[in-house]
Amino acid sequence: MAKQTKLTKAARGRECQIRIPGVCNGNPETTVLAHYRMAGTCGMGMKPNDLQGAWACSACHDYVDSRRSADDRAEARQYHAEGVMRTQAILISEGIVAA
């Protein structure tokens, strides 16, 4: 199991920030930090920095990580990216991350 960081721990019990309509289960008990994967920031066996993560319910996390079939992969990536930005805004407003 991967080491829990300050930012991965901060996801526990939080509201999903990816919020894919018709997918999101809205259950904060399933929320984890879902890393946004992008060329140049991750690779084989290497996760992106935790700042590139969004708080995601289990359903949205499965959807953006392709464990569940996405109707539109580009749209899923956009929801995920917006979730990363919302998550960062919350972390900054709570003083967990400095801007």
Sequential DSSP letters for the chain:
-PPPPHHHHHTTTPPPSS--TTT----GGG-EEEEPP-BTTBBTTBPPPGGGEEEE-HHHHHHHTTSS--S-HHHHHHHHHHHHHHHHHHHHHTTSS--
Domains and CATH numbers, the chain: 6-38+45-93 (3.30.50.20)
Q: What is the pLDDT of residue 40?
A: 60
Encode pLDDT of 23-72 as tens digits: 999 999 999 999 988 666 666 776 778 889 999 999 999 999 876 666 68
Q: What is the pLDDT of residue 5?
A: 86
Q: What is the pLDDT of residue 45?
A: 73
pTM of the model: 0.85
Options 34, 35, 52, 64, the catalytic residue: 35
Between 14 and 74, whose confidence is greater? Answer: 14
Is 35 tagged catalytic? yes
Q: What is the pLDDT of residue 82?
A: 97
